[in-house]
Chains A and B, each alone.
Chain A
Amino acid sequence: MSHIVIIGNGVAGTTCARHIRKRSDADRITVVSGETDHFFSRTALMYIYMGHMKYEHTKPYEDWFWEKNRIELKRGWVKDIDTSGKKLTFDSGEAMSYDKLVLACGSKPNKFGWPGQDLDGVQGLYSYQDLELLEKNTHPPKSRNNRVKRAVLVGGGLIGVELAEMLFTRNIEVTFLVRESKFWGNVLPKEEGELVSRHMRKHHVDLRLEEELDEILPDEQGRVRAVKTKNGEEIECQFVGLTAGVSPNIGWLKETGIAQKRGILVNEFLETNIEDVYAIGDCTQFETPPAGVRPMNQVWYTGRIMGETLAQTLTGNRTAYRPGPWFNSAKFFDVEYQTYGDVLARMPEHVSQFYWEHPDGEKCIKIQFETATGKFLGINTFGIRLRHEVFDQWLKDGKDVQHIVKHLRQANFDPEFYRSHEHEIAEKWNKEFPNMTVSVKKRFLVF
């Protein structure tokens, strides 16, 4: 029996703990967190703020679950790690020894050294504490006294859109500064970026593309009063959201001898340079990424899969991280987004693509494939749900693009009675690729 200590109770750390317990009765498992007593869904923070849920609804397991499964929970911030003595020190001065250590300490919002980035009323959104700070920095729901009239968000990514949606529910106007010429430009191709931009503007977001933050200006009390953009414009605001991505939360590990670059360096077995110290989730960086894996992985699913993988290794079945074909999803206000495989924002020369958009401008589908072989590479959809299992199989089988267009209906995951568009999609495809036509039958009414 060994004592496995996991630092971080997010999805990576918690999944790891659960799966260790599934496979091993004997090991002692401790999960350490300074953030909250129990595991909660970080992605649901926005719903707490908007009043869709309360904090307790975001906890995937009831509080008795941990004791029942003999997963010890320790609340506190670890200050120091003695890797040779295998000992942790908490900021309270308490100590804890371990046999194996798992670092699952997540991310923190990026701050790029903007003047004024630490003023009152300026913040990112990642942790539960960030949410509490946001409550403090804005006014209560349905408040008559709107302390914050306008917010400026800096950096176009997922958290930015979520924050915009959140602030709107408190009647706060949002100006969104995005450095690139299109929204979420490093991930989304042009058409999808435009669709999202259009949708956000429909929701009255004042979206400023190719606009950069220069400086955040304080009032006499040291609170934000305005921002200045690189174009010299001053935008009055009472709140600034820093949403230009996240980076691994590793500053506190500097002195421990655990190798790190942008994240904690791990091999494909999620092992660090020090024996019996592992890292999973947002905080990691692959030294040599396994085939098809990106060096940094900061989404829910990758954290979860790393947790499962490492649990195997820690219970005697040394297992490499092989997450399978990429997938992800998100929601931008009312439009859902899903992706399977690799759809690249900047398409390499040997790749072709096909794009279909619904006349309402809120549904679209983008398929990329190898020009020479027709091999299907990846798909983006907005406003249409797709079946993960089907696309996972198609990607693993190396299906060609015609197969995808022809059998798209098989992968449709929209609720019953939704209008389906496979026929229109195929028609457009046939026009654009007349030497690769497919036939797709029209559905009668909605069936």
Chain B
Amino acid sequence: MRILQFAGLGLFLIAFFTFIGSLFMGDYQMTEAVAKEVISDENHQALLLPELAPMIDKTYGNQFAFASDFQSTFERVNQAFKEQQQWDKVIYTDYTFSIVKASSIGYVADHGGRLFFLIFILGPIGALLYILPQLQLLGPAGIKNHHVFHDNEKNRGIIGIAIGTFLILFYIFLYWFEEYITNWTLIVDPLSMAMNGGAASQWFLYGFMYTIAIIVMGIRMLIKYRHNNYQMIRTGSVMFFQTAFAFTIPQVLAAMSLPAPDMKNMWPLDYSFFFDYRLNEMVEAGTIGFFMLGWGIALFAIGVPLFTYLYGKRWYCSWVCGCGGLAETLGDPFRQQSSKKLSAWKIERYLIHGVLVFAVLMTSAVLYTFFTEESQLFNIGSVYVSSFDVRGWYGFAIGAAFAGVVGTGFYPLMGNRVWCRFGCPLAAYLGLVQRFKSRFRITTNGGQCISCGNCSTYCEMGIDVRWYAQRGQNIVRSSCVGCGICSAVCPRGVLKLENGENNDASRMEAPAIILGNEGVTLNV
């Protein structure tokens, strides 16, 4: 069994380093044909091709030099127009990603299939070979958090930091330097073609890897909690929603030339839902587009209050959501790193509700512009600020930096719910409903708590569960995503996720029985 695990780990590492290495394989050469194909707009061709002439047929050893040459040429052309105030000629289409990708020559371009097999087939197989033997190695089913805090990876050791660093870099390239990772998209091009008929963007690559991560690590979760039906069903749910709704259905929709949203995602997490291009796209798609628009609005306007009232925010955060899905599977080994300090909670409250306010203001500005066609909002000194600026800031700071780079990159350091806890505006909104109008609560079991601290330690949202449990008070917190792990790790059967009467008194108060002393009526 151990040998199987070593083999699996070996395969996975080979796949991983091949994945990294593929970025540095091959050369880059732009032929005239490639240039004409990518820069399909004839006006742009006329403007750009003469300037690009020195680059044509020149071989570059890496994408960095190539992209840099292309971009500086491009900038020079645009700069000239700007200086001459020929605004109509300025080119706003960014061709860099496509041109770099199309100019890649050599091993990756020629042997994409081979690399795909090595990375995306053998990698997951290796990971599963590492994970599946745990069925036996972990011993009989039960809570086996052995050595979590002795473990380099799970306890902020060098491996944990390395994983975090990789994730941070990955997200930085994904969001802002996609022209450097075109080789990765080349490798998944055939899959993309088969699924949606088009070449792979970095977002296709990301969605594909995201889905693999959730499936493979979801299997790990299923093994780890095979004695716990709540965990099994919940994990199955996030695996399903990721595979079907987030990944497969949008590909099919795209293949049919329809708008291709992730229809389980919703505003304000899906912050671009009300952006002009998305609204126009839906309106132009006819009946199905209107359905998507109505569905998207109904989800947050009716779905959130209704389902959160009935089941708490868990119905979304730990059963459906993609960010939640990744956190609960890929992120599970790091859940114990979330801070339980009171000070962390104080920061959390301001941050997450601040993001919600920002999201609402940004969306209002965007809709104002959509309906009035007036984009100017206000002036800061002599600089005027448009709704496009605001949505740009939001996209950069919240959508990319917070949700991606910090949200996932800091898994090994701050736990697997950094984004969900400190930044997600949808979680804030769901949380407000959960806190003030919901049947959901975590019930504590009378006086049975021994204050051991397992519940708090393994709470990914940083809730000090024990603080409630040891005083026999139900846990009603806006941040609780209802993952159920506190209940699973409790050695004394103290915690139970429940939907009951929405009677604020019975839901929040600490019953006196807990204290177990008939002689004392305590005003806790």
Contact = CB atoms under 8 A, between A and B. Distances in A.
B492 A331 contact: yes
A380 to B, nearest CB: 13
A112 interface: no
Interface in B436-450: 443, 445-448, 450
Given A53-B454, A388-B445, A415-B487, A319 B519 contact: yes
Contacts of A271: none
B493 A416 contact: no
Contacts of B443: 413
Given A308-B515, A331-B492, A333-B142, A415 B497 contact: yes
Contact of A324 (B229, B496, B517): B517
Interface string B489-518: 101110011100000000000010111111
B517 A309 contact: yes
Interface in A283-339: 300-301, 304-305, 308-309, 312, 319-324, 327, 329-331, 333-334, 336, 338
Contacts of A331: 491-492
A51 B145 CA distance: 7
B414 to A, nearest CB: 16
Interface stretch (A54-62, A90-98, A253-261, A426-434): A54-62
B2 interface: no
A278 B334 CA distance: 45
Interface string A408-447: 0000011111110000000000000000000000000010
Contacts of A136: none
A50 B489 CA distance: 14
B451 interface: yes
B2 to A, nearest CB: 12
B147 interface: yes
B150 A51 contact: yes
Contacts of A389: 445-446, 511, 513
Nearest to B227: A334
Contact of A415 (B142, B148, B484): B484
A300 B469 CA distance: 14
Contacts of A338: 448, 492-493
Which one of B342, B450, B493, B515 has the highest number of Cβ atoms from chain A below 10 Å of its Cβ?
Answer: B493
Given A324-B518, A327-B447, A385-B493, A446 B146 contact: no
A232 to B, nearest CB: 33
B228 interface: yes
Contacts of A169: 146-147
A53 to B, nearest CB: 5
B149 interface: yes
Contacts of B288: none
Given A52-B149, A446-B229, A413 B496 contact: yes
Contacts of B143: 334
B448 A327 contact: yes
Nearest to A336: B493
A413 B470 CA distance: 17
Contacts of B450: 41, 43-44, 300
B146 A50 contact: yes
B380 interface: no
A141 interface: yes
B21 interface: no
A60 B516 contact: no
Interface string B126-151: 00000000000001111101111111
B177 interface: no
A47 interface: yes
Contact of B517 (A202, A308, A417): A308
A305 B522 CA distance: 12
Contacts of B484: 415-416
A336 B445 contact: no
Interface string A205-231: 000000000000000000000000000
Given A60-B466, A141-B147, A305-B515, A417 B230 contact: yes
A54 B511 CA distance: 31
B492 A336 contact: yes
Contact of A419 (B148, B229, B487, B514): B229
A387 interface: yes
A11 interface: yes
B346 interface: no
Contacts of A41: 450-453
A142 interface: yes
Contacts of B104: none
A142 B496 contact: no
B176 to A, nearest CB: 37
Given A51-B151, A169-B146, A385-B496, A392 B446 contact: yes
B101 to A, nearest CB: 45
B233 interface: yes
B434 interface: no
A13 B345 CA distance: 29
Nearest to B489: A52
Contacts of B148: 51-52
A387 B445 contact: yes
A203 interface: yes
B522 A11 contact: no
Contacts of B498: 416
B141 to A, nearest CB: 7
Given A51-B146, A52-B148, A387-B445, A62 B515 contact: no
Contacts of B150: 51, 141-142
B520 A308 contact: yes
Contacts of A413: 443, 445, 493, 496
B471 to A, nearest CB: 10
Contacts of B515: 305, 308
A276 to B, nearest CB: 21
Contacts of A11: 451
Contact of B520 (A51, A60, A312): A312
Nearest to A329: B492
A323 B228 contact: no
Given A41-B451, A52-B457, A415-B229, A323 B496 contact: no
A203 B140 CA distance: 7
Interface string B101-144: 00000000000000000000000000000000000000111110
B13 to A, nearest CB: 20
Contact of B491 (A301, A305, A336, A419): A336
B453 A323 contact: no
B147 A323 contact: no
Nearest to A56: B453
B201 interface: no
A418 B229 contact: yes
Contacts of B187: none
Interface string A240-251: 000000000000
A52 B146 contact: yes
A393 B520 CA distance: 16
A44 B230 contact: no
B517 A322 contact: yes
A43 B140 CA distance: 23
Contacts of A305: 447, 515-517
Interface of A: 11, 41, 43-44, 47, 50-54, 57-60, 62, 141-142, 169, 202-203, 300-301, 304-305, 308-309, 312, 319-324, 327, 329-331, 333-334, 336, 338, 385-389, 392-393, 413-419, 446
6 tightest Cβ-Cβ pairs between the two chains A and B? A388-B446, A334-B142, A385-B493, A44-B452, A417-B229, A51-B147
27 contacts: A47-B452, A50-B145, A50-B146, A51-B149, A51-B151, A52-B145, A52-B489, A57-B456, A58-B453, A60-B466, A60-B467, A203-B139, A300-B451, A301-B447, A305-B516, A305-B517, A308-B517, A321-B517, A329-B492, A330-B492, A331-B492, A338-B448, A387-B446, A388-B448, A415-B230, A415-B484, A417-B229
Given A142-B150, A321-B519, 19 more contacts: A47-B452, A51-B146, A51-B149, A52-B145, A52-B146, A53-B457, A59-B453, A141-B147, A301-B447, A305-B516, A309-B519, A312-B519, A338-B493, A387-B446, A392-B446, A415-B484, A415-B487, A417-B230, A418-B230
